[in-house]
Amino acid sequence: MEKSILLCGYSYHLQKLRRGNKKVGLGSYLLRLQTHGSCIVTMEGKDLVIEPGDLIMLRPGSSYEMRIEGVTGSGDYYLFCQGAWMDEWWSRYEKPSLSRIKLGESILHPWRQIIKESRRLNEENRELTDYLLRVLCLSLDRAVTDTTASYSRSMTAIRMKQFIEEHAHQPFKVEDVAKHVQLSISRASHFFKECYGKTIIEYALEFRLSIAVERMRHTNISMELIAESCGFGSYTYFHRVFRHKFGIPPSHFRKLERSFR
């Protein structure tokens, strides 16, 4: 039986160290997960600072060099492997060479088990480590996918926030924001609330009020024009929203602001 796992372990270093060779390609697949401290890794000619949660996945032939230059310590799990199953797994989708994943037992437990079993030399344990390797790789798939999905949700919320701010001077509906990011109204509303802790309408009102406050402080524009230019539609609505937020009418607020100058 071909040996799939060539080297697997956990390392922790407090002193300066250099491993790998950025001028020579790897002879096998490399999986490496930073758990403590930091180090510098050179991959494909780029120097990257690696911190806890950073997962490196490289294929044979990739250039790789790791350096520990500080005294704060660096801890990581590493695994060099090969084989037909690894080739098939790698070809399923384009693997990111560097990902940030959540550290947890779903990843660390199988990694520890591989370290433990790979120290045994009989064929039965070699077969077991091969299956553990599959569990680990599939768990890494899920961790990377979950991280990507979380990033995608955050970016969607950011795009909605930018749309609100760019269109704050005019009336718009939640439907317009959802359409901008190509989501249903309910899904867009859920993403935004999840990321910012407030609804789309609540954020829009707060942003419009912040613009209105700045214009009351630094310009002589009439209240009616401020209300219209900030997207409130009418002074009556602006007055009601402002008083609910600050406890005083906007005209009173402006007088107080000017009395302190």
For residue range 76-133, list pLDDT tens digits in order.
999 999 999 999 999 988 888 999 898 889 999 999 999 998 887 666 678 888 999 9
pLDDT score for 121: 63
Contacts 24+ apart (CB under 8 A), 156-159: 156/181, 156/183, 156/188, 156/191, 157/191, 157/192, 157/194, 157/195, 157/196, 158/195
pLDDT score recorded for residue 122: 62
Are both 5-150 and 167-261 of the same fold? no
- Whether this prediction's pTM lies above 0.85 is answered by no
Q: Nearest 5°: CA angle at 194, between 147 and 102?
A: 25
User: Could you tell me the residue ranges of all domains in the chain?
Assistant: 5-150, 167-261
- Cβ(50)–Cβ(40) below 8 Å: yes
State the pLDDT at residue 1.
47
Give Cβ neighbours of residue 230 (< 8 Å, ≥ 6 apart). 168, 169, 208, 209, 211, 212, 215, 238
Q: How far is CA 40 from CA 74, 76, 145, 180, in A?
A: 10, 12, 25, 40
pLDDT for the residue numbered 153: 76
pLDDT in the model for residue 228: 92
What CATH number does domain 5-150 carry, 2.60.40.10, 1.10.645.10, 1.10.3470.10, 2.60.120.280? 2.60.120.280
Task: Pick out the chain residues at pLDDT < 70.
Answer: 1-3, 70-71, 121-124, 150-151, 260-261
**pLDDT recorded at residue 22:** 80
CA distance 239 to 34: 54
Fold of 167-261: Arc Repressor Mutant, subunit A (1.10.10)
